[in-house]
Amino acid sequence: MMSYLVLFSSAFLAATFLPFYSEIVLFTLARQGEPPGLLILVATLGNTLGAVVNWVLGKYLLHFKDRRWFYFKESQLERVQKWFQRYGIWSLAFSWLPVGGDALTFIAGVMKVRILPFLLLVGLGKGVRYIVVFYFSTVI
């Protein structure tokens, strides 16, 4: 049970802007013979819920964009909003990517993407990633 909590926590934190790597935990647990379906489900759920944190931050942090301490410049926000408008909601299927994936979930919040399509696309992408990681853990 503790190993699943560690997997969930690492997947959750890895989906935020914090530097965690849940794939290593999943790989290790898979090599120890843990049930594949449960591992993939726990990792996907944790990673998707972590992405929701980014979505919430994106949605509500814009209220503070006029404050001096606000991290992003107006030009940066405009650039990412134009990018997201160009590629649309379907780009969220790529939120599993190690570079830029977390930013996509943040931008989705900024763009006020509805939560249900967000969860479906992000969950699908992240689930496929964990399936691939699990597969590689069995063939190596």
Q: pLDDT by residue (tens digit) across 14-70?
A: 998 787 889 999 999 999 999 999 999 999 999 999 999 999 999 998 888 888 887
Q: Please give the model's pTM, rounded to 2 decimal places.
A: 0.89
In contact, 106 and 76? CB cutoff 8 Å: no
Token digits of residue 10: 């690492």
**Whole-angstrom distance, CA of residue 31 vs CA of residue 38:** 14
The Cα-based distances of 111 to 45, 76, 131 in angstroms read: 23, 14, 29
